[in-house]
Structure 1
């Protein structure tokens, strides 16, 4: 976990790889639900495409905001699809219980990206007494 909390190149690479894996899982989930499949895949594709330059160290604020907006939209779209799946019938099954937990996780991740956009637009939006500087890490924003 300490590897993910610093801003070194290996940390960025591991974080990017985990984010791509999460986006691929979201894309698979979107394709299997009755949600707006094309729109969801556009969000996932945009998040992937815009995150590649960030991986290589290009950190323009507008690019980061665009990437996080696509990521948040992808997670919210997947959560919407799972919610529709859960309410499609009248009976509660084991997979719908897992879907409920996944919806909570997807919404939390989406809001973490929105919080990151907020702190990029308005520095010092969030304060953590254990960290200095205008920006908190994504994990801090998630928790």
Structure 2
């Protein structure tokens, strides 16, 4: 029992000092699970399990930022419930609503982390983790928006492989990452007007995030090192 307490103590200290690191790690580790997800029941169950881990972590990080915590829970609780019910009872409509709520939650959490990173002129290690976590939150948020757009406007996205079928979740997430990072591989393309507008908004958000938040953190870090 004593050894277990000693083992858990460093993790508790790390969680208090670097909560953003846990969210970033969960987001990146979930990428390793997504290739196992498909349109089968087991794949959707795995997708729901990942959401149930990442969503509370997003709320936890918002609690550590200047954002109002009850708004995050107001989005997270129904999102998790709809995900559980939609997966267990194979109800795609509920998953669509949960995706909308999760997109809103991720954007809200990203806004909270941006406010956290901009609230002073000191750069902590957790703020550097927050910069990475914010990027993943924006990428996931837009991926959920693409998922909803595809459901409302069938045929919104086309790909080089089987261009007529709806894009899978991992494909939409890949599109989101390439747009947000401005790499743009081009193997998945927005076809409908709403999809193209969303892609342009994400491209603008990605450029703005790097130009304002990331560049500011880099500049403050360089200034701190020069002072030493």
Q: What is the TM-score normalised by the length of structure 1? A: 0.91
**Paired position in structure 2 for 1:45:** 77
Task: Tell me the distance in 2 between the aligned counterparts of 1:82 and 1:76.
Answer: 10
Answer whether contact 1:34 1:85 (CA < 8 A) is retained: yes
Q: 1:86 aligns with which of 97, 117, 124?
A: 117
Higher relative contact order, chain-length normalized (CA < 8 Å, sep 6+): 1
Q: Provide structure 2 residue ranges, at least 5 long, that are not aligned to the other structure.
A: 1-33, 175-228
Does structure 1 residue 116 correspond to structure 2 residue 127?
no
Task: Tell me the distance in 2 between the aligned counterparts of 1:57 and 1:140.
Answer: 25
Does structure 1 residue 30 correspond to structure 2 residue 54?
no
Task: Tell me the distance in 2 between the aligned counterparts of 1:60 and 1:140.
Answer: 18
Answer whether contact 1:30 1:41 (CA < 8 A) is retained: no
Q: What is the TM-score normalised by the length of structure 2? A: 0.58
Paired positions, count: 141
In the TM superposition, 1:94-105 aligns within 5 A as: 94-105=125-136
Task: Tell me the distance in 1 between the aligned counterparts of 2:146 and 2:171.
Answer: 10
Runs of 4+ in 1 over 4 A off after TM superposition: none
**Paired position in structure 1 for 2:36:** 3
Does structure 1 residue 125 correspond to structure 2 residue 156?
yes
Task: Tell me the distance in 1 between the aligned counterparts of 2:122 and 2:49.
Answer: 37
- Greater Cα radius of gyration, structure 1 or 2: 2
Query: Tell me, what secondary structure is at the counterpart of 1:92?
Result: coil
Task: Tell me the distance in 2 between the aligned counterparts of 1:48 and 1:2.
Answer: 22
The alpha carbon displacement at 1:60 in A equals 4.0
When the two chains are superposed, the root-mean-square deviation of aligned CA atoms in Å is 1.5
Say if 1:13 and 1:124 are closer, same or farther in 2 by CA, change over 3 A.
same
**Paired position in structure 2 for 1:15:** 47
More helix by share: 2
The alpha carbon displacement at 1:3 in A equals 1.7
Q: Provide structure 1 residue ranges, at least 5 long, that are not aligned to the other structure.
A: none
